[in-house]
Structure 1
Amino acid sequence: MKLFDVYPLFDVNIVKGKGCHVWDDKGQEYLDLYGGHAVISIGHAHPHYVEAVSKQVATLGFYSNSVINQLQVELAQRLGKISGYDDYQLFLINSGAEANENALKLASFYNGRTRVISFAKAFHGRTSLAVEATNNPKIIAPINANGHVTYLPLNDTEAVKAELAKGDVCAVIIEGIQGVGGIQVPTTEFMQTLRTACDETNTVLILDEIQSGYGRSGKFFAHQYTGIRPDMITVAKGIANGFPMAGVLISPKFTPVYGQLGTTFGGNQLACAAALAVLDVMEADNLVENAAKVGSHLIEELKKFSHIKEVRGEGLMIGLEFNEPVKELRQQLLFDQKVFTGVSGTNVIRLLPPLCLSMEEADEFISRLSKLLK
């Protein structure tokens, strides 16, 4: 049997990681400015994380959600405290798409509606309703194109107020900062207008913080720059530093009903141990504050490059837009300068490093990039 060919692959076999660095099977070291799609939050192979996961899997890796799991209780309490959402409820699942599916499902149970507002360049996942809410027709199969979703321009307050005024919208789903869409940042005015309009029309506001959350923006959630509180927040990626896990933070306005939501693997003991270790390290090493500090430095330095059309983002979620396609530049960064980066569309380089990135490592990236942009 062969693997189903879904991704074009770089001819690099990564076999080891430590902090913000990875190594291939030939022993070549790379600076990791992508963190495996923003998944590596506390750095590769952090010793506390390794110990916690190893100890848990040697004790109990998994058991059913039909019994008490004290690790889930502890995770909910600690996540509520560190994020500022103590009064919310937590539902644990396995992936970002799954988080968005369950948030949209719960929203529809709540108000009985079926229409969803999403935004231009949005990405919310590759399954069922999550992919329908993703503004990319190339990945929406005919079976997913069910007419539930209206796409609006990001930051267009009048357009969103007009749609919500119709009174038939179940939910608005929006990323704290658009990732796949090219590091597009919603304005404070837009987010506050959105919150008010949702309240006035009994529409559920869902913040997809799967890529922009968990400290990446320099605040725990990117939407916290705008001073709003959504009805639900979806998280994944950095929550367990590479172990498959996700969650939905759910406002007290929602009352749980047995049978509406469920999961086999979600919140299992091994996943919870990984997620708790992530919170341990984030707190001990002040990683949210580090993301803000090092990210501000990176953004400031990158804005000095005349070759870069625009630098966007917050913290360690940064987009570099060029006037020309970046495919060759990304290849040169990887194969000549030994730096992993991401892309968005044709003209944007995406930086999503582990939140432990140091000033020295940030400056090393600037140095390597400058060699290619001279």
Structure 2
Amino acid sequence: MTALFPTYKRFNLAVERAEGTTVEDTDGKTYLDFGAGIGVCNLGHRHPAVQEALESQLNRYWHVSNLYHNPIQEKVAELLTTNTSGDQVFFCNSGTEANEAAIKLARKATGKHKIITFEQSFHGRTFGAMAATGQEKIHSGFGPMLEGFSYVPFNDIDAVKQAVDGETAAVMLEVIQGEGGLHMADAEFVQELEKICAEHHLLLIVDEVQTGIGRTGKPFAYQHYGISPDIITSAKGLANGVPVGAMIAKESLREAFGPGAHAATFGGNPLAMAAGEAVLTHVFQDDFLQDVTKKGQYLKKRLKEAISDVPIVSSIRGKGLMVGIECSEDVSHVVPQLIEQGLLVLVAGSTIIRLLPPLTVNEQEIDQAVDLLRDVLTEKKISSH
């Protein structure tokens, strides 16, 4: 019997320690981690620069209040605004909270309440973020959703046009749907969407909770599309495992979030900011991001060589080190088999094996992971019977 709510379907693995791309369980068995805490530990486990920054901040102070100036918040905010289309930042504790802040800001700044999102999107599990999510299974059992959200098919610009009316405040988009199945937005669709937002005076919100902080080879994934969002949300990789979220917005939205409009007691916590500064200083370097792109290309190349002819493998897709292996059947039973073989992976939907290794992964580790995937998928261990 456990004292925890059964909100997670946990695998038979209890973690003792982790470092780099390696996780060790309480029995001393080691695993190659290609999930990175669901895209959180972008610099791998216990990265020396992040650990040093945390230890240094521990010896200064852990928490005061957002009623006082916190200089390290300014440093992290500047790193975010310098590397995005935004001009100011609100710090919170998670991606869900960042999306809640984005929803509130869009409604308050425009005076309108409707927001268009996309089928198979995922924006979080609080009531606002859950209502923004275009998946019925996320809504099920919780009664009426927050009003004002409409869900249109992904990559369907005509559906967006039809959904816009006089009360539409914003469009909320993931340029790569992570939880929804590693679906990638078409460049033409994204650029046309930005034009529609401009024509109708709608705010364009891009949810970068999973795709941001170097995951796709750019600071943020929207930068592959040549657009300039009004609001960007970030979290997972931002502090390498220390809880943090951020909403980044353009200057024109500053006055809508004046004193009293929104708050987070732990938002911008000094420990999270210390970790965040170390992460962003490291990740937002051209050489590092170019390396992520090269390793992502290498991972996809190796996967195509090794498993593209496996009967159940339908396609291999992704950007940078965010890669999905789409299969023709449910793959939930494959994950425990891969864990047994020493490889930690994720799923997206029911038919996609999702790979989100640390951005610091090396080619030898990629080779090891691909070999393990090939062995499990080709030795007919995929049968659920």
Do the two structures share a fold, i.e. TM-score over 0.5?
yes
Query: Within 2, Cα distance between the matches of 1:340 and 1:211?
Result: 18
Match of 1:306 among 303, 309, 318: 309
Residues 144/61 of structure 1: CA separation in 2 closer, same or farther (3 Å cut): farther
Sequence identity percentage: 39
Aligned match of 1:102: 101
SS in 2 for 1:59: coil
Partner of 2:265: 264
- AA at the equivalent of 2:215: R
Q: How far apart in 1 are the matches of 2:204 and 2:144?
A: 22
Deviates more, 1:256-265 or 1:35-44: 256-265
Say whether 1:351 aligns with 2:355: yes
Q: CA deviation at 1:226?
A: 0.8
Structure 1 residues 117, 284: closer, same or farther in 2, change over 3 A?
closer
> Does the CA contact (< 8 Å) of 1:218 and 1:292 recur in 2?
yes
Between the two proteins, the alignment pairs up a number of residues equal to 370
Give 3-state SS (helix, strand or coil) of 2:176's partner.
coil
In 2, Cα distance between the equivalents of 1:127 and 1:139?
10
Q: Where does the alignment leave 5 or more consecutive residues of structure 1 unmatched?
A: none
Please report the TM-score for the alignment, with normalisation by the length of structure 2: 0.93
Task: Give the Cα–Cα distance (whole angstroms) in 1 for the partners of residues 23 and 281 of structure 2.
Answer: 23
SS of residue matched to 2:59: helix
Would the aligned equivalents of 2:88 and 2:254 in 1 still touch at CA under 8 Å?
no
Q: How far apart in 1 are the matches of 2:97 and 2:105? A: 12
Q: Deviations over 1:174-210 (max 9, x none)?
A: 1121000111100111111111101111111100000
Matches of 2:288 and 2:361, distance apart in 1: 9
Q: Which residue is equivalent to 2:147?
A: 147
Cα distance in structure 2, aligned partners of 1:286 and 1:6: 40
2:137 corresponds to: 138
In the alignment, is residue 24 of structure 1 matched against residue 25 of structure 2?
A: yes
Residues in 2 aligned to 1:346 and 1:110: alpha-carbon distance in whole angstroms: 38
Does 1:332 find its partner at 2:333?
A: no
Distance 1:7 1:84 in 2: 34
Q: TM-score, normalised by structure 1?
A: 0.95
Query: Aligned residue for 2:364?
Result: 360
Deviation at 1:115, TM superposition (A): 1.0
Structural mapping, 1:1-374, within 5 Å: 2-81=3-82, 83-85=83-85, 88-140=87-139, 141-143=141-143, 145-164=145-164, 166-256=165-255, 257-283=258-284, 286-304=287-305, 305-307=308-310, 308-335=313-340, 337-374=341-378
- Give the whole-Å Cα distance in 2 for the aligned partners of 1:299 and 1:144: 42
Structure 1 residues 41 and 347, CA gap change in structure 2 (3 angstroms)? same
Distance 2:135 2:163 in 1: 21
Deviation at 1:79, TM superposition (A): 2.3
Structure 2 unmatched runs, 5+? 379-385
Compute the RMSD of aligned alpha carbons: 1.5
Distance 1:104 1:360 in 2: 43
SS in 2 for 1:343: strand
Segment drifting more, 166-175 vs 285-294: 285-294
Q: Distance in 2 between matches of 1:287 and 1:354?
A: 12
- Report if aligned partners of 1:129, 1:144 keep a CA contact under 8 Å in 2: no
Letter in 2 for 1:154: F
Q: Which amino acid aligns with 1:298?
A: L
Give distance in 1, aligned partners of 2:90 and 2:144.
Answer: 25
1:310-368: CA deviations, max 9, x gaps? 11110011111011221232221111x20000001211100011111111111111111
Quick one: which amino acid aligns to residue 228 of structure 2?
Answer: R
